[in-house]
Structure formats: C-alpha cells, structure tokens
Amino acid sequence: MRQFVLVALKILISGALLYLALRGVNVGAILARMNQISFGWLAFAIGVTLLQILLGALRWCEITARCDAPLSAAQALRFNLIGSFFNQTLPSSIGGDAVRLWLVNRTGAGWRAATYSVLVDRAIGLIALAILIVGSLPWSYQLIGDAHGRAALSLIDITALAGGLAFLAFGRLSWSWLTAWLPTKHIHACAVIANKVIFNRRSGPLIAVLSLTIHVLTAVIAWGVVRSIAAPATFAQVFLLIPPIILLTMLPISIAGWGVREATMMVAFGYAGLPQADGLVVSLLYGAVSFAVGAFGGLVWILSAEKAAKDAGGIELQEQ
C-alpha cells in the first residue's frame, strides 16, 4: 500500500508540474519549433547519450573492483543500458539503479557489494556535478542577472556540494560505533570506498576525468537538442544552464524526471533571457532522446540472459 501511494504521488507531481509548465506557454511558438525539428541533430544527441553511458560503465568498473563485485566493461555497459530502460519505465528517476543492483547481485557478488557499487557510483557522480557547477558559477552569475535566480542556483549547488563533502568526510572517521550501529554502518562503508576510489593515485584521476566528461556530455546532448530546433542558445549558455537542472531532476520525486525537468528548464531559460517556450521544447525533446536510448536498453534487456533466467524462474514457480 505504501509503495502504491508513493508511485501515485510521483505521478501526481509529474502531472502537476507538466500542467503548470504547459499552462502559460505560447502554443504557437512551440508548434513552430516542432515543425522545424532536425532529426539529424536528434540522432547526434542519441549518439552522445550512448557515449555517455559507455563512459559511465567504465567509471562503474573502477568502482565495482573496489567493492569486491568486479564487472567487465561489457557487463557494466550492458547493465547500464538496461538501467537506462528502467529509468524511463519505473516510477523514479533512479529506478534503473535498483535494476543495476539486482543485475550485479546475479553475478554472484552479493547484495551488499552490489548495493555499495551502485550507491558509490551515484555519490561520485553527484559530487562531480556539484564541483562542475561551482567551477562555472562566475560565468553563471554573468548569464543570470536575476538576484533570485542567482540565490537559488547558489543554494542548490552549495547544498549538493556540502552533502558530497560531508559524505567523504564521514568515510574518514574511525569511530568504532560508526561500524557497529546499523544506521551508519553501511553509509560509512560506502563513504570509505568512495574515498579509496577518488583519492587513489591510479583510479582517482581516471574517475575524475570520466565523471566530469559525463556531465559535460549532458550539456552536449542538450545542445544537440537546441540545434535540432534552431533555438537561439549558444553552447556556453547551455553548458551553464543544464548541470543545475540535471541536479534537480536527480531528486526521486517524479517519473523519470518528467515535470521537474520541464519546469526548471523553463525557469532557467527565462533567467538567462531566452524564450521559455524554447526551454520547454528542449526539455521535451531531451526527454524523448532519453526515452529512445531507454528503448534500446529495453531491447538489450529483452535479449539478455538475466531476463530469460527471470522468466524461467517465474515459470518454474507457476508449475510448482
């Protein structure tokens, strides 16, 4: 019952935010943009998204090795593609993480190692995103003239960065009760692993480069979408606007980020002096690109040995 209520609430939030985003826009301007879509640029955005998933798989490989759940690059890529499918179909923007966790466990790694690998991967990605936003704040302030917009951007980023740094600092603590008390035991273990991955001489630089590149590619994807409708936004503007938006859509309060992304994209475009209708169209097409890649991930899932084993297990249970 509780799970049903949470799913229903997320659907309502997505629907409400989409309604608010669509309510005050110029429908004619949206249709005009849609009529001039360049599918070549959308194909470019899809290709960059696949590259982003590949780089994410390479980062995850480094992390799983530290979690005693080593994956090959091919396994990590396949699991990430499947995760992208479930990110679009499960009632959360992080639904794919639960499926990745399940897939890693099926390799024999165990639930604990699988969970640690996914959580540390998420944490490192969040920290890298916050650092990227902090590094670009001076230029963001030049782009966003509105004082409220600047304050909101600073608050969002400082909160995310403070949370990430507190997580890493938590892993540096050696108090015995941290590993004895259940609520802190697993969080502390994940923080310890994150420190080992980030501050290792061999893996640290690679993790940093991969993490920052992954987030830069998010801006490249959005820029491809912008170019597909010939919106008057430069790459520099897109690069400064997209990371904070992605940070907000990582909150698991909607269905695959729908609604949250549209509302924040319109607000961000407005603060930057760009047409809000363009922000809405870019957000919708960005979601469509993610959905297309997720559909490919769904095909990988359908053809996977894990799904075949799951279906076979279900048949056996029915026969019993």
Binned average pLDDT, 10 residues per bin, the chain of 320 residues: 55 58 62 81 97 97 91 95 86 74 91 94 93 90 84 86 92 86 89 94 93 96 94 92 86 64 83 85 91 94 79 49
Please work out, in degrees rounded to the nearest 5, the angle formed at the alpha carbon of residue 27 by the alpha carbons of 246 and 274: 45
Q: How far apart are CA 192 and CA 152, in angstroms?
A: 31
The first and second tokens of residue 34, run together, are: 């849609």
Q: How far apart are CA 17 and CA 157, in angstroms?
A: 22
User: What pLDDT score was predicted for residue 318?
Assistant: 44
User: What pLDDT score was predicted for residue 265?
Assistant: 85
Q: How far apart are CA 293 and CA 80, in angstroms?
A: 11
Query: What's the Rg (C-alpha) of the chain?
Result: 20
How distant, in Å, are the alpha carbons of 163, 167, 173, 174 from that of 177?
21, 17, 10, 9
- pTM of the entire predicted model: 0.85
233, burial (CB in 10 Å: exposed 0-12, middle 13-18, buried 19+): buried
How distant, in Å, are the alpha carbons of 49, 74, 90, 111 from that of 83?
13, 14, 10, 17
User: What pLDDT score was predicted for residue 239?
Assistant: 94
User: What pLDDT score was predicted for residue 113?
Assistant: 93
User: What pLDDT score was predicted for residue 58?
Assistant: 96
User: What pLDDT score was predicted for residue 280?
Assistant: 86
Closest CA to 234 of 207, 196, 274, 195: 274
User: What pLDDT score was predicted for residue 9?
Assistant: 60
- Tell me 92's DSSP state: S
